[in-house]
Amino acid sequence: MLNEKYLKGGPITYAATNEIKGCSSTWKGLSFGMKLVSKGLKWRVGDGCQIMFWIDDWVPEIGILQSHALSTLSADQLSEKVSNFMTNEDWDIQKLSSVLPWNIVHRIMNIHAGRRQSGHDKVIWGLSNNGDFSVKSAYDTHYMIDASFSWKWNFLWKLQIPLRVQSFLWILLHGKLLTNDNRAIRGFIPDTIYERCKAGCENINHVFRSCEKSCFVWEDICKGITRSHLFICDWDDWLMQNLKNNRLVFGKVAGYLLFAVSLWFIWKWRCKEIFDPNFRFPPYPGLIIKRFLDNWLNANYADSKKVDLNPCYIAWSPPLEGWVKLNVDGSLNPNSGSIAAGGVIRDHKKNWLCGFAVKRGIGSVVEAELWGLLEGLKIALKAGFRKILVDSDSQNSVKLLSNPTPPNHPLFSLIQSCKALLEEHWCCYVQHNYRESNRVADMLASLGHSLDLGISFFEKPPQQILGVLDDDAKGVAFARPGPFVE
């Protein structure tokens, strides 16, 4: 009823911009709420029949296209829909380039829309990966909270470390650990003196780096380290570098694991010294930490779940006789933000059948991977192959194709188009493989950045990839560092 009365069939986004006199209190509340969340809304282009080409904000990071038009627009032009700029289930490049600058056409070209599988135009939540609304992201947007700070440490939850240490680190990384300076701010204590060494204010930097006993712990763990090494970089950089250190120490322990557990023990011993009168600081802290790590590793990686810390050697493998293998990959240029993709089809005798590289507009790595898969499948189907194995080194892309696609997903059209090709009358399987076995596709994707916009076909392999192609034919394997769980 509200939709028919106030929107007249238009999208809910109009509630944030259309001032209606004499409307009900219910509609006033909805309109006020829409103004709050409108910053997080964006269009997902489907068939293009609902979005106004010039006056709706539908191109990421560009804004309303009317302000970018190459000439003054007539009333008829202002009423044009996005679908007016599509032809044969793709964008009309000639028409787009006649009314807009090339850099904007470049962005539009990367929006996958106008296909049978694209669905209708849809308003989605632009502040989440899946297009679904979340209260937290809306709150952060309204109060102008910089989400990048909290996301910076999200990799912590993927680290293989004890859960208690993980929880402790989350508090530490966000500066919420109750050192004396934080306790004084909260009014728990009158001053910030560090009781263990009486050396000024007790803050997190002092507890974990400046304190004599903390330095002793680091020196005992890392033989040969000097105190100056602890202050080469600032606090956040020091944490980041050490928590992303995958190098093995003591032959079997990842550097980040040793670092994380050491931080936890330093804090644990600090608290014991203050609150337990019978506690004495251990003379060999490194030995205690190493023993703890041995016990934790043995308990978590028993015979049923052994961790192989040795490198695994990976090579490209040909398909079975009667099958062909399609390797695809995507590439993102970090400077321009443009994406490209590439792929190669080979038979069981390792012969080159065809290859391609495609250059798109501005996008993400996942978009690039999906574009590579889409174009590769179209080429394979058109070439008449009916038994095809697809290798991609993008786990995210493979998961998107194997799971149901949420209707609000920003890449709905691209994903559904890939799925439609997979459901054609052929035997086609998509699997994840490591990048060490995907080097030819990787080079073709990189080559795509230097080509013209669109797709380029290679009946013969380009000169730049002959060496890598020869490695694959010879079965050359490349080491991939562990750990690998059996």
Parse the chain into domains and list their residue ranges.
45-120, 154-300, 314-485
Strands 427-432 and 387-392: parallel
Instruction: Provide CB contacts within 8 A for 3, sequence distance 6+.
Output: 9, 12
The answer to whether the CB of 128 falls within 8 A of the CB of 136 is no
Lowest mean pLDDT among 70-79, 97-106, 170-179, 309-318: 309-318
Per DSSP, 152 falls in state: T
Give the CB-side neighbour count of residue 1, counting CA atoms within 13 A.
4
Nearest C-alpha neighbor of 173 from the set 194, 193, 149: 149
pLDDT per residue as tens digits for the range 379-390 = 999 999 999 999
Lowest mean pLDDT among 121-135, 158-172, 297-311, 323-337: 297-311
431/316 Cα distance (integer angstroms): 13
Determine the 3-state secondary structure of 458 from DSSP: strand
358/449 Cα distance (integer angstroms): 8
pLDDT at 202: 84
What is the pLDDT confidence band of residue 291, given thresholds at 50, 70 and 90? Answer: very high
The answer to whether the CB of 440 falls within 8 A of the CB of 462 is no
Dihedral, CA atoms, 465, 468, 470, 475, nearest 10 degrees?
Answer: -150
pLDDT at 226: 47
Strands 387-392 and 324-332: parallel
Mean pLDDT throughout 56-79?
Answer: 92
- Tell me the longest C-alpha to C-alpha distance in the chain: 85
pLDDT at 72 over 60: yes
Q: Which residue has the higher pLDDT, 325 or 30?
A: 325
pLDDT at 362: 84
pLDDT at 261 over 70: yes
- Tokens 């993400």, residue located: 364
pLDDT at 442: 96
pLDDT at 116: 84
Mean pLDDT throughout 389-395?
Answer: 95
pLDDT per residue as tens digits for the range 193-251 = 766 676 678 888 888 988 888 888 998 887 645 455 556 678 888 888 889 888 887 77
Lowest mean pLDDT among 33-42, 328-337, 433-442: 33-42
CATH architecture of 314-485: 2-Layer Sandwich (3.30)
456/307 Cα distance (integer angstroms): 43
* Sequential DSSP letters for 399-442: HHHHSPPPTT-TTHHHHHHHHHHHTSSSEEEEEE--GGG-HHHH
What is the pLDDT confidence band of residue 75, given thresholds at 50, 70 and 90? Answer: very high
Q: How far is CA 271 from CA 196, 212, 281, in A?
A: 10, 15, 11
Number of helices followed by number of strands (H, E) in the chain: 19, 16
Buried b (16+ CB within 10 A) or exposed e, 292-306: bbeebeeeebeeeee
Tokens of 7: 């929107």
pLDDT at 92: 92
Mean pLDDT throughout 133-156?
Answer: 68
What is the pLDDT confidence band of residue 122, given thresholds at 50, 70 and 90? Answer: very high
pLDDT at 34 over 80: no
Nearest C-alpha neighbor of 125 from the set 39, 67, 190, 57: 39
pLDDT at 146 over 80: no
Expressed in percent and rounded to 5, the helix, strand and coil fractions of the chain are: 45, 15, 40
Tokens of 254: 């990842």
Question: How does the average pLDDT of the chain come out, rounded?
Answer: 86
Q: Which residue has the higher pLDDT, 133 or 16?
A: 133
pLDDT at 484 over 60: no
Bridge-partner residues for 436, per DSSP? none
H-type helices in 3-118, by residue range?
A: 25-37, 75-78, 93-99, 102-109
Mean pLDDT throughout 344-349?
Answer: 97
Q: What is the C-alpha end-to-end distance of the chain, expressed in Å?
A: 59
Give the CB-side neighbour count of residue 332, counting CA atoms within 13 A.
11
Mean pLDDT throughout 449-455?
Answer: 90
pLDDT at 250: 73
Give the CB-side neighbour count of residue 27, counting CA atoms within 13 A.
18
Predicted TM-score (pTM) above 0.75 = no
